[in-house]
Structure 1
Amino acid sequence: MRREPSPPRPDFAEEAKRIGFHYAHADGEPYWDETARYVFSMREIEDRLETATADLAALCEDVVARIVTDEQALERLRIPRHAWAPIAESHARRDPSLYGRFDFAYDGSGPPRLLEYNADTPTSLFESSVVQWFWLERMIERGHLPAGADQFNSLHDRLIARWREIAEGGPVHFACMTASVEDRGNVAYLADCAAQAGSWTARVDMRDIGLCGEMFVDRLGRRVERMFKLYPWEWMFADAFGKSAAMGATRFVEPPWKAVASSKGFLALLWEAAPGHPNLLPCFFEDDARASSLSRFARKPLYSREGANVTLVDGDARLAETKGAYGGEGYVRQELCLLPNVGGRYPVLGCWLVGGAPAGMGLREDSSLVTTDRSRFLPHAIID
């Protein structure tokens, strides 16, 4: 793995507009950054990153199967009691998962180490799937990358194929908080994938979903039979409709059973299930006596977004601390694994799953040790 300068395209703004990439800049700052690129060997991708992603996906599947009906585990994850039955029932039905993302610390030498599992509402999908693939093609066409350059990226085709399996051509509503340009962009992309898989699709704001008897409906009165929601399960279960019988009538993507993996507490349960796993870091609930054994650790809320309320501790020193409104449910302490310093930047590698199988990678970097919503997305290439 190496970071190297890369010539930005003079016509990128036109291409971004053409493909619908409306959040290349955020609050006046670049989010998409092609002034540099990360380069990997095929062996690194296949033997380390892809293998780690597949191994951890299998482990997560096993651990989820053990805890969806384990009341003690659900309590530790601070999942409300009224959510336990929908979670167990969705798993028993084998409700399908569309996607997820493992965030790894990786320095090009040792094994990738899992920092977080974004199991429920991961974003940065469109830029991982489409935007950086177009970048790769243009760089090859213009002679800035060798003709044989490749990318860890089969996301687009796999997403279409997975939607075909999940929806079988049936209707799908796509919901998010539409005030977020990034959320709208990710949902629009996934709706396009579902449409290419043969489904009728409709995009709605979460606030435009109502109840009609024991069924969710949209503003036009159409039944919401299957819904992709870019809206976290912990928020769903906390909302007024979270106890409604309609929760069992609609099939959700991601399904309710994914809620157990979307908590940072799941990292502690993974470590309990596979202590010493080369791709895991020791992790404990903060109220577990074993947590005090870690003198160097990342303190993370059970539920948080975009790196909020994270503290990095090294003995008596606080290396980094982010603000936010999370942490009321409790925290975990995960052994400290600092992101590699690559020319003053700290990259995190997001390896994607589609249907539980490795499907691609997106890379974000920051000048801070904690990756946040201000971090930039950089493209990557495989060159041997």
Structure 2
Amino acid sequence: MRRIADGKVRPDWRQQLAAQGIAYNDTPTPDGGTMSYWREGPFYDFTSSEIDALEKGAATLFEMCVAAGDFVIDHNMFQLLGIPEFAWDQIKRTWWDDETEPGGRSKGDFSPSIYGRFDLRYAGEYAGRPQLLEFNADTPTALPESAVSQWYWHQQTGQGTDQWNAIHEALVEAWKRNLTRLRQARTHLLSPVTIHFACDREEDSGEDLFNTEYLMETARQALEPMGYRTKFLYMDEIGAGDVQAGDRFYDAQGEHIDVIFKLYPWEWMLQEQFAKQCFRDMADPRRDSTVWIEPPYKMLWSNKGLLPILWHLYGDDPERRDLLLPAYFESERPEWMTSYVRKPLLGREGANVSIIVDGITVASAPGDYGGPFVCQAFAPLPGFPDNRGGEWHPVLGVWMIDGEPAGLGIRESAGLITDNLSNFVPHTIDHSEFKL
């Protein structure tokens, strides 16, 4: 793994990004200026064996997260994760999927899950295995630039022999498989089924909107030939009648919302006025309720409380502990842990994260997220110098599509906290000009 600081620069790269829909490239900075989110020129190069290590590590981490989900449900640990009681039953029901109880009765509902992203610390094959920083399991973004923009960059610049990027194709297949299974599980769904796609109108950069539109396009490619329709709306256009009186969720045109993908975090939805109604609707014994993608069980993984639970389960496992960093709920942090990263359970983009080294706070990021917090052992992100004397710290985002590793997107920052001022940087495999 190496950072190539002086790769090719396409003369029209800004126009290329705009044509691909990356309208949020110009990021506002605290001083009132702007910076480019996409970094043209530099890129990261990997050997094939390093990509294999990332792929195998991510697959193993996913298995570990499944075991952690079982552990939370078996031990009723929802309160520790800050999840209100009215959501517990539907988290269980969607987690159990279509498993059956003795006697053949369905234990849960089949609940489609399309994607997620592991954020990993990794410095190459000579520096150990990749290590989990967090699991963006509910509403990860940076998807179009990972799936589309960096692939076009690779083709147009001719750098590297390959790229780990089967994201788009995997998304198309995920929609096909999951919606086919959903129709089998919910035979009442009429044809044509409409899949709604929604995001927050208040997010003004355009990032959420385009990520949602991109996912809608992959669903259209997958499902239109199968007789499905796709339809966009904003979250504030979702209408909610009285579920207990037989009313359901519908869109602005009065169409019942059978299935909806929402780029809107579950923890936000839990605070909405229709939150309890949403979970009562999902409890409909006729299973004629709205199906939400991603499903409620993703609250078990998108919560930073996953990190100490994983460490509790695998901290003594010689085969798997190297994929993790020691982590504890703040109230249980051991005395020996004096260097750690303090993270809110539900923070995003580095907000309210602090780095403590030998008991002293050396870096922190502002934000609106409060506690509780978890403490994860501090292991500095690897530093790669550039040609101007600076140093960059990458976080490797491995995309999990339908539960399988499908590709890589990298964000780098000048500091050790990856925040909303980080840059997206493309990657290659086996860039021969720079092989050692």
Scaled by the length of structure 1, the TM-score of the pair is 0.94
User: Per-residue displacement from partner, 1:163-219 (whole Å, max 9, x unpaired)?
Assistant: 112223832111111343100010010000000012311111111111134211111
Alignment match, 1:287: 331
Tell me which of 310, 323, 346 is aligned to 1:270: 310
Distance 2:304 2:334 in 1: 14
Alignment match, 2:350: 307
Report the secondary structure of 1:278's partner residue: helix
Alignment match, 2:238: 209
Alignment match, 1:177: 200
Instruction: Give the AA of the match of 1:345.
Output: W
Could you tell me how far 1:29 is from its partner in structure 2?
Answer: 1.3
Alignment match, 2:187: none
Distance 1:32 1:178 in 2: 24
Instruction: Give the AA of the match of 2:139.
Output: T
Alignment match, 1:239: 272
The runs of 5 or more residues in structure 1 that have no matched partner are: none
Moved more, 13-22 or 259-268: 13-22
Moved more, 188-197 or 315-324: 315-324
Alignment match, 1:8: 9
Contact 2:327 2:377 survives alignment (8 Å): yes
Distance 1:179 1:243 in 2: 23
Instruction: Give the AA of the match of 2:89.
Output: A
Contact 1:285 1:291 survives alignment (8 Å): no
Q: Map of 1:64-213 to 2, 5 A cutoff?
A: 64-71=69-76, 73-92=77-96, 93-108=109-124, 109-140=127-158, 145-146=159-160, 149-168=161-180, 170-180=193-203, 181-198=206-223, 199-213=228-242
Could you tell me how far 1:96 is from its partner in structure 2?
Answer: 2.5
Could you tell me how far 1:246 is from its partner in structure 2?
Answer: 2.8
Could you tell me how far 1:20 is from its partner in structure 2?
Answer: 1.7
Contact 1:362 1:377 survives alignment (8 Å): yes
Instruction: Give the AA of the match of 2:167.
Output: L
User: Per-residue displacement from partner, 1:328-365 (whole Å, max 9, x unpaired)?
Assistant: 3x000111111011111111101110011101110000
Distance 1:69 1:237 in 2: 22
Q: How many residues are paired up?
A: 374
Alignment match, 2:41: 35
The 4+ residue runs of structure 1 with deviation greater than 4 A are none
Distance 2:294 2:335 in 1: 35
Tell me which of 367, 372, 379 is aligned to 2:414: 367
Could you tell me how far 1:62 is from its partner in structure 2?
Answer: 1.7
Does 2:357 match 1:353?
no
Instruction: Give the AA of the match of 2:198.
Output: A
Distance 1:101 1:236 in 2: 21
Instruction: Give the AA of the match of 1:262.
Output: S
Does 2:383 match 1:341?
yes
Instruction: Give the AA of the match of 1:139.
Output: T
Instruction: Output the aligned Cα RMSD.
Output: 1.4
The runs of 5 or more residues in structure 2 that have no matched partner are: 29-33, 97-108, 181-191, 284-288, 386-390
Report the structure number with the largest CA radius of gyration: 2
Contact 1:155 1:354 survives alignment (8 Å): yes
Could you tell me how far 1:23 is from its partner in structure 2?
Answer: 1.5
